[in-house]
Structure 1
Amino acid sequence: MTIGVVIVTFRCRELALAALRSLEARTPALLPTTVVVDNASFDGTIEAVRAAFPAVTVIEHRRNLGFAAAVNRGIEALPSADVVCLLNPDAELLDDGIFAAADYLEAHPDVGVLGGRILNPDGSIQPSARAFPSHKNALFNRHSLLTKLFPRNRWSRQYLMTDWSHDDIRPVDWVSGAFMLIHRRALEAVGPFDPGYFFSIEDVDFCRRVHDAGLRVEYFPGASVRHRVGGSSRKAVYRAMAGHHRGMWRYYRKHFRGNPLLHAVTAAGIGLRFALHAVSYALRAGRARLLGRETP
């Protein structure tokens, strides 16, 4: 069984090198089947990766094609891989659990996708396995005011799956593309990632299509990474923010049915959410500059 790794980079040279060093330390055998797809960073990422990790394949884009399209290019470069692991450049392996995860996928032909355990920099669990989005998630998602004010409310807990210790293997709706293992059977069943998603939501969409094809998506705690949320998007915050909200609208149009009034309300809600997030970030960034600090 062959395992491939795909890392998509955009202006995050040092983070990408740290991710590759974690691969070298934990799973050195995977470096020759690792592909770095660079989305027009022009910051020395390509040169640094080639110099430090000559065994790694590097694909250079002259313009930013978005995350999903770059992932597809990486998967295309691994035609013989039975299992493909997506690893964010702002994530670092904490163990060699990729091999155990791949063995699990091979032994369970009804499973198409696994998500590993993702930890925050402080060691706490990052909610990376969740329920599929619904309209009520506009009020009870990870960044919503109600979730921040009332983190133990049952709707937020249901969506973020925070009532569970994340210590056991279990079926879930979707898992984060920051650390996702995909068996070839899933790609054959549903095809590549939807390149219409520029940044974010493509992992939700892919997992939903895997479910629709009759395969399971599961959480697998035997493989772990440490992930700095936003570490790979800090160089283009507003573009990433816009891509996330466009992805929300694309996902809604693909997977939900409703009347024109509901569509209009949903579109307005997504637009308002984007505006509030953009204003909130601008205020925090301005305050951080005044204090001489990094934007939180």
Structure 2
Amino acid sequence: MFDLAVVIVTWNVREMALDAIRTVIEDMANSGLDGRVYVVDSASSDGTAEAVASAFPQVDVYASPDNIGFGRSNNHAIQRVMALYEPPRAVYLLNPDTITRAGATRALYDALMADESCGLVGAQLEYGDGAFQHGAFMFPGLRQLWMELFPAPARLTETTFNGRYPRHLYTVGEPFGVDFTLGATMMLKTEVIRQTGMFDEDFFMYCEEVDWAWRIRRAGWDVRCVPQARVVHLAGQSSGQVRPRSLINLWESRLKLFRKHYPAWKFRAARWMIAAGMRRKIRQADALPPDERPAIVAAYQHIMELARHA
């Protein structure tokens, strides 16, 4: 049995993916962990799969002929890993727009294995310029929806009211319990995967990590953020390439998440808030760049209809 299988899903991020793979391989080599890397490329048009295979012959690369989405792509690799005669002790889902800092992989692995009740851990993230980035959140509720869609005091943005954990928990340096970690870095014990399954493939993109963490928590496992593990997350470089489609994907997934995990009354409230929020965004569309405005307004209108009829 080896220690760790690292899974990276790519889509048209060749240069960043090469950096992500290089830095995690270097970190594992210095950590003493016995690890393997699996890459699933979702029909990139920039030669990502070929570049990875050429630069890292030790990496297992699967080039999908279609863009099958984040969750399904990860599941493809997880299924292959779990089908091994001796699966690893843990599986590490890592975004392609990341740079692993020295010692991060070992810190995550040690925190995961230190407590038998811990089933999932994630890193402390930072932006490319070194600025702090939240790597863990509370499960989304109506308060977070209000903060995103309607006027609210700016002082609430970085608070628990908006689902953020206090900064001092990160600076103390010890792992702390959270509801879910961002999908950029998710390390799970293999027994968690056996018990709770994998990503729900109804989520094409966005919210799949929230849904899985919700199921993991309900199954009795703890989820923790590990501040000692530092990973640069360049934040949405793949999804940011097609903004209107990304907006629709995001809100489609959020509606699926709310329908799956909210009681009926709360789901109705969320639908109303989303529809009202989209109407408000449409009224404010004059502030958008003129060349982007029609497509983004059309996306808002589509999301409003989704919320009305969900």
TM bucket, shorter chain? 0.7 to 0.9
Note if 1:69 corresponds to 2:84: no
* CA-CA distance at 1:270 after TM superposition: 2.9
Match of 1:283 in 2: 288
Mapped pair 1:25 → 2:29: no
Aligned counterpart, 2:271: 267
- Residue 14 of structure 2 corresponds to 13
Structure 2 CA distance for partners of 1:200 and 1:168, relative to 1, 3 Å = same
Distance, in Å, in 1 between the alignment partners of 2:112 and 2:199 is 19
In the TM superposition, 1:1-296 aligns within 5 A as 1-28=2-29, 33-79=36-82, 80-141=87-148, 146=151, 150-152=154-156, 159-166=163-170, 167-259=173-265, 263-271=267-275, 273=277, 276=281, 283-284=288-289, 286=291
Change beyond 3 A, Cα 1:108–1:230: same
Structure 2 distance, partners of 1:185, 1:165, is 28
Pair 240,274 (structure 1): closer, same or farther in 2 beyond 3 Å:
farther
Shift of 1:264: 4.5
8 Å Cα contact 2:4-2:35 kept in structure 1: no
- Give the gaps of 5 or more residues in structure 2: 293-310
Unaligned runs of 5+ in 1: 288-296
CA–CA distance in 1 between the matches of 2:130 and 2:145? 28
- Contact residue 7 and residue 39 of structure 2 kept, 8 A: yes
CA contact (8 A) 1:35 1:77 kept: no
Cα-to-partner distance string for 1:67-106 (whole Å, 9 max, x where unaligned): 1111111112222121111111111101232123213322
8 Å contact kept, 2:28–2:35: no
Q: Distance in 2 between matches of 1:169 and 1:217?
A: 10
- Tell me the residue number matched to 1:294: none
Deviation (angstroms), 1:224 = 1.3
Q: Is the 8 A contact 1:22 1:93 kept in 2?
A: yes
Q: Is contact 1:3–1:33 with CA below 8 Å preserved after alignment?
A: yes
- SS of the counterpart of 1:118? strand
The TM-score with structure 1 as length reference comes to 0.85
Q: Distance in 2 between matches of 1:164 and 1:78?
A: 37
**TM-superposed deviation, 1:152:** 4.0
User: Does the CA contact (< 8 Å) of 1:50 and 1:58 recur in 2?
Assistant: yes
Are 1:151 and 1:157, in contact at CA under 8 Å, matched by a contact in 2? no
Q: How many Å apart are 1:154 and its aligned residue? A: 7.5
Q: Deviations over 1:24-78 (max 9, x none)?
A: 3322477961111111112201110111111111111111111111111111222
Normalising by the residue count of structure 2, what TM-score does the alignment of the two structures yield?
Answer: 0.82
| Cα gap change, 1:285 to 1:228, in 2 (>3 Å) | farther
Residues of 1 paired with 2:166 and 2:285: CA distance? Answer: 25
2:237 maps to amino acid: G
User: Residue 155 of structure 1: CA displacement?
Assistant: 5.5
The separation in 2 between residues aligned to 1:25 and 1:59, in whole angstroms, is 22
- Using the alignment, how far apart are the partners of 1:83 and 1:281 within structure 2? 49
CA shift at 1:282, angstroms? 9.3
CA contact (8 A) 1:140 1:156 kept: no
Give the drift of 1:107.
2.6
Letter in 2 for 1:109: E
Verify the 8 A CA contact 1:32 1:57 in the aligned structure 2: no
How many residues matched?
281
Distance 1:70 1:27 in 2: 23
Q: CA deviation at 1:211?
A: 0.5
Please tell me the root mean square deviation across aligned C-alpha atoms, in Å: 2.6
Identity percentage of aligned residues: 29
**Does the aligned pair in 2 maintain the 1:127–1:162 contact within 8 Å?**
no
Aligned residue in 1 for 2:308: none
8 Å CA contact 2:175, 2:226 repeated in 1: yes
| CA deviation string 1:248-279 (max 9, x = no partner) | 111111111124xx6445224335556739x8
CA–CA distance in structure 2, aligned partners of residues 191 and 229 of structure 1 = 26
